[in-house]
A = this chain, B = another copy of it.
Amino acid sequence: MPYPAGRHFLQIPGPTNVPDRVLRAISAPTIDHRGPEFAELAREVLSALGPVFGTAGPVVVYPSSGTGAWEAALVNTLSPGDRVLAFETGHFATLWRELAEKLGLVVDFVPGDWRHGVDPAAVAERLERDTGHSVRAVCVVHNETSTGVTSRVPEVRRALDETGHPALLLVDTVSSLGSIDYRHDEWGVDVTISCSQKGLMLPPGLGFNAVSEKALRAADSATLPRSYWDWRPILTANERGFFPYTPPTNLLYGLVESVAMLREEGLDQVFQRHRRHAAATRAAVRGWGLEVLCLDEREHSASLTAVLVPEGHDADKLRELILDRFNMSLGTGLGRLAGRVFRIGHLGDLNDLSLAGTLSGVQMGLQLAGVPIDSGGITAALRVLEEA
């Protein structure tokens, strides 16, 4: 154990701080995955997941990372050489594009400045141009974990609807699910991709695909080779409470618990809490006189905030100092943002005082690193948190 005292502040934008209650749940003894007790567990998990995704349809659970869930969404719905439309909102959008290309898809990648979300007008414009409907899927990262920018999925949906384009809508909710309002069915999303270690407050190890009827139909004609990720045998087995291969039982115990926690607090309350924390964080950043990466007020992420450090300062050196001195992990700048931003995760099982501790640590770290700031940042944040 490298740290001298106290609980580590894990304030990266995921994995998030796993609640004790969830950690205790995953430490229960593993059971027979073909027995009646497991079937009950699986049915409980699968039916509890729907409301979290905002869907009455099926949610497929994989033993995988979120990356695996990206791959699953593509191989189940597309065929070699298919075109997909994607948007350069940041590092993760870029990684997803690379993944798609490795699988043999052709990606139409709309360039971006990493400070804005997907532009719904650009979606409309691209789809209108695609009169032959060669675009088979539109891929959107709901909340860009590398930038702290949240794309407006309902407006993207409207773009699809208004152009009458039949492409599937695939949405990555890795760092928004369970933290930011999201509605798979209502927004007409075809595949929602997510994973366990962010708003769901679990350790990493579970990937998810919520799947629409239309996506299921697409799966019947899609020809990318697939076996592990194939939805169909999973959905068939799930009906009886089982899985076609050994499921990650102990993480499922944790999932039962974490979904119960979301339900007990109330999803609306959870979203509201994340918005308050994000607002308090931005108040701190502005109080320090620093700049938030996200440029559009409509797109500020409720689950993380990326902060630009002034020229001449290295964000990673700052993070290192904060880790050493204050036992807190912050998110690094990824890809083209390396060294220029640090990211504060304020998602998952977090309350006002832990956020206050987090922002205090950032403020002290900035001072110690010699970044010129106004020390009123923390006071500004507390003022936001005091409000009901």
Judge if A109 is at the interface, Cβ distance under 8 Å: no
Judge if A77 is at the interface, Cβ distance under 8 Å: no
Bound-state CA distance A15–B250 (Å) is 11
| Residues of the B chain whose Cβ atoms lie less than 8 Å from the Cβ of A364 | 352, 356, 382, 385-386
Give A240-277 as 1s and 0s: 1 = Cβ < 8 Å from B's Cβ atoms.
00001111111100000000010011000110010000
Contact B68 A228 (CB under 8 A): yes
At the interface with chain B, which of A20-28, A121-129, A165-173, A289-297? A20-28
Judge if A329 is at the interface, Cβ distance under 8 Å: yes
At the interface with chain B, which of A3-11, A46-54, A302-310? A3-11
Contact A360 B382 (CB under 8 A): yes
Q: List 28 A-B contacts (CB under 8 A).
A: A2-B37, A5-B261, A5-B270, A5-B349, A5-B350, A6-B349, A6-B354, A7-B20, A12-B32, A16-B30, A20-B29, A21-B28, A23-B28, A24-B24, A30-B203, A67-B228, A102-B230, A204-B246, A204-B249, A204-B250, A327-B351, A352-B364, A354-B357, A356-B356, A356-B364, A357-B360, A375-B382, A375-B383
Considering only CB atoms, which chain B residue lies closest to A40 in the complex?
Answer: B2
Chain A residues within 8 Å of chain B by Cβ, number: 102
| Residues of the B chain whose Cβ atoms lie less than 8 Å from the Cβ of A244 | 67
User: Contacts A7-B17, A273-B5 given: A26-B351 contact, CB under 8 Å?
Assistant: no
A interface residue numbers (CB < 8 A to B): 1-10, 12, 14-21, 23-24, 26-37, 63-68, 71, 80, 98-99, 102-104, 195, 197, 203-205, 224-228, 230, 244-251, 261, 264-265, 269-270, 273, 323, 325-329, 332, 349-358, 360-361, 363-364, 367-368, 375-376, 378-379, 382-383, 385-386
Contact B361 A203 (CB under 8 A): no
Partner of A379, one of B323, B327, B356, B379: B379
| Residues of the B chain whose Cβ atoms lie less than 8 Å from the Cβ of A379 | 375-376, 378-379
Closest 10 CB pairs of A and B: A6-B351, A357-B357, A356-B360, A205-B248, A353-B357, A67-B245, A27-B27, A32-B329, A203-B250, A102-B227
Bound-state CA distance A226–B63 (Å) is 17
Bound-state CA distance A89–B379 (Å) is 37
Contact A225 B224 (CB under 8 A): yes
Contact A251 B64 (CB under 8 A): no
Contact B228 A7 (CB under 8 A): no
Contact B4 A332 (CB under 8 A): no
Bound-state CA distance A174–B353 (Å) is 28
Bound-state CA distance A4–B266 (Å) is 9
Considering only CB atoms, which chain B residue lies closest to A334 in the complex?
Answer: B34
| Residues of the B chain whose Cβ atoms lie less than 8 Å from the Cβ of A32 | 10, 12, 15, 329
User: Contacts A33-B15, A63-B205, A360-B360 given: A351-B10 contact, CB under 8 Å?
Assistant: no
| Residues of the B chain whose Cβ atoms lie less than 8 Å from the Cβ of A332 | 34
User: Contacts A68-B64, A204-B247, A264-B1 given: A225-B102 contact, CB under 8 Å?
Assistant: yes
| Residues of the B chain whose Cβ atoms lie less than 8 Å from the Cβ of A9 | 353
